[in-house]
Copies of this chain bind each other. A is one copy, B any other.
Amino acid sequence: MEKMKTVFFLFDDMTALDAVGPFEVLRGIPDSEVIFASLIPGEINCKGGLKLISQYAIKEISEAGLLIIPGGSGVHPLLENARLLEWINTLHCSSLFTVSVCTGSLLLGAAGILKGLKATTHWNHLHKLEAFGAEPVKSRYVIDGKVITAAGVSAGIDMSLKLVSLIKNETFAKLIQLGIEYDPDPPFDTGSPDKVSPQLLELFLKANSAPGKK
C-alpha cells in the first residue's frame, strides 16, 4: 500500500511553529510520510532567523493525503500567486483533509477553497476571511467538511491532535499527546484577546501595526 503523503507548504517569512507544531503531531501517523514543498526547493527563511529545508518544488508534488498550509507575514505576497493557488486547489481536489494554521487560511481563501465554509485564523486577521466568502468563527480550530482551519500559531498543535483522531483514531491521538507531553500550563493566561486587558491589547496592536507585520 502506498503511504499517505502529509504535505507541508513552506515559504519565506512563514512562522516556523505554524508548521513544526503540526509536524511533531502528524509525523506520528502510521503509514504516512511527511513532505515539505515550496515554490523553489531549498532553504526557507522563517520569521526570526530559523531556516528549514524544503525538499521539493510544488510542481513535483501532485497529490497529498493531508495538505498543510502554515501562516506568517510571508503569506501576503503569495495571495496573488496564481501558480501557487492553482497548486493548492489541485491538491485540495483529492486530499483527505486540507488544513491551514494561522494566516495560512488566507491562502486557502485566495484559492477559493473557503467559499461558503466556516473558518478561522489568527485572531488579529479573522475579519479578513469574509472577503473570501467564508464565515469567520472564533474558535481554536474549525472543521467544515474536509477543510480544517486553525487559529494562530500554537493552535496548530490542538488541531493536529484532532486531525490524527479523524485520520486514525482517538487512541492514537492520545498516545501522541502523551509522547509530546502536551499537558499545557502556561505561566500567564493571555493567549486570547478576550483574556487580556484593554491596555495589553492596545500595546499588542500598536506593536503589530507596521505594514507586513503579522
Contact = CB atoms under 8 A, between A and B. Distances in A.
A167 interface: no
Nearest to A17: B24
Contact of A193 (B15, B178, B184): B178
A154 interface: yes
Interface in A8-30: 15-17, 20-21, 23-24, 27-28
Contacts of A180: 17, 152-154, 191
Interface in A108-126: 122-123
Interface string A177-199: 11111111111111111011000
A208 B154 CA distance: 26
A194 to B, nearest CB: 9
A207 interface: yes
A36 interface: yes
Contact of A185 (B36, B158, B207): B158
Q: Which of A50, A102, A193 has its CB near the most chain B CB atoms (within 10 A)?
A: A50
Interface in A151-183: 151-155, 157-158, 161-162, 165, 170-171, 173-175, 177-183
B174 A153 contact: no
A203 interface: yes
A178 B49 CA distance: 21
Most buried by B among A140, A151, A178: A178
A211 interface: no
Contact of A200 (B28, B102, B162, B175): B175
10 contacts: A17-B20, A17-B23, A24-B153, A27-B49, A154-B184, A162-B187, A165-B187, A170-B188, A177-B188, A178-B201
State the 9 A-B residue pairs at the shortest beta-carbon distance, nearest first: A152-B181, A183-B191, A27-B48, A184-B184, A51-B53, A17-B24, A20-B20, A174-B190, A153-B180
